[in-house]
Amino acid sequence: MSTICCIIGTRPEAIKMAPVILKLKERGLSCFVLATGQHTDLLTQALRTFNITPDRDLSIMRERQSLDYITSAVLTKAGEALDDVKPKVVLVHGDTTTTFASALASFYRKIPVGHVEAGLRSGNLYLPFPEEANRIMVDKLATFWFAPTEIAKNNLLKEGCDPSRIWVTGNTVVDALMMVKGLKGEPEFLKEKLPPHVPLLLVTVHRRESWGKPLESVCEALIEILKSFPRLWIIIPMHKNPLVRETWQRYLSDIPNVILCDALEYDDFVWIMNRSTLILTDSGGIQEEAATLKKPVLILRDVTERPEALSEGTALLAGREPSKIVGLALKVLLDDDFRERLLSKSSSPFGEGRAAETIVDILMQYLNANEHCLGE
């Protein structure tokens, strides 16, 4: 039986690839799950939510790892694993360093690559860094492009990708969200900390370009928001990166209605997103999840590769200037009419939760009808 190898290395990849992995197995296909361990604990935590155990874990993570190290370690070790498994197709997701290095290792072995969430572009090679460059390079190496939206498809067409191998599938994060939404109630750790019925602001910041001064600016903005809206509670699941954690703790640990916590299980995180009044984030996936949940979100970045979140979703581009973040946040929190207009979009632009099914259908057609021609 032909094997499809799904390579994942970080929490977002695990969440967004989980529906594809589960659908492949449901259809009886041979699916080999290769974890690089770029983010070991967070990756394991996310997979646990979906009851997925990797077939092999490369365990590359080390303290304060550099992009050079991650790239070379994944390229070498994933390459060795591919030599052992000999898959007919490799699936990678998104724009991480694991994604790029795995696609390159597959290319070196002439193994066709399917890129899930292909075609996203910010238009600035350094924003986000290194993700924009990663996804461009992966799309140059791919054989199949699974674009989440029409805009992503058009980006690929402009770059000369074969239109017969581009499919608009929706985003697999919607599948994942629908799988876990409502499975659990309020997380135990919140029951004694978060008063009932209070307005809640969820904040997540993790990208490299947010480290240092930009994150300090976000902290300053949060302090000002609380001064103007003291009933508000804030919850911040902190990334494991010590630079990020130290900044959060230095600015906010002494404020009573700010809850700093470790990274959450995905089903707990979905519950908190759904409970939130407003979300502030530099995450890409949360822009998609917020649109699906009908939650307003301020994007703490200068550009986004998900313009649909702005034009059709529930997002506003806030940047990192404290005064702009404060102004937009208070407008969403306090102006009911403005918030309702933002949330009045008819549907999420990121699909209806059938992306994994579409992707697996396409792969089965190729494996069944034209397997020997996949690499041509």
Report the catalytic residues: 95, 117, 131, 206, 208, 239
Q: Taking the alpha carbons of 165, 352, 263, 242 in that order, is the dihedral positive or negative?
A: positive
The residue ranges of DSSP E strands in the chain, in sequence order, are 3-8, 30-35, 56-57, 89-93, 113-116, 144-147, 166-168, 200-204, 233-238, 258-262, 278-281, 297-299, 315-317
Q: How far is CA 39 from CA 11, 207, 231, 327, 372, in A?
A: 7, 14, 36, 35, 35
What is the enclosing helix (H) or strand (E) of 288?
helix 285-293
Distances (CA, A) of 196 to 200, 232, 269: 10, 12, 17
d(CA 247, CA 338): 32
Which tokens belong to 267?
């089903």
Burial level of 341, CB count in 10 A (0-12/13-18/19+)? exposed
| 50-73 b/e (C-beta count within 10 Å ≥ 16 → b) | bebebebebebbeeeeeeeebbeb
Q: Which helix (DSSP H) or strand (DSSP E) does residue 340 occupy?
A: helix 336-342
CB 96 within 8 A of CB 38: yes
CA distance to 29, 63, 115, per residue, from 2 (Å): 8, 37, 18
Look up tokens 């009908």; give the residue: 294
Question: Residue 2 carries which DSSP code?
Answer: -
- The one-letter amino acid code at 82 reads L
Distance CA 12, CA 46 (A): 8
Q: What is d(CA 46, CA 122) in angstroms, rounded to the nearest whole number?
A: 27
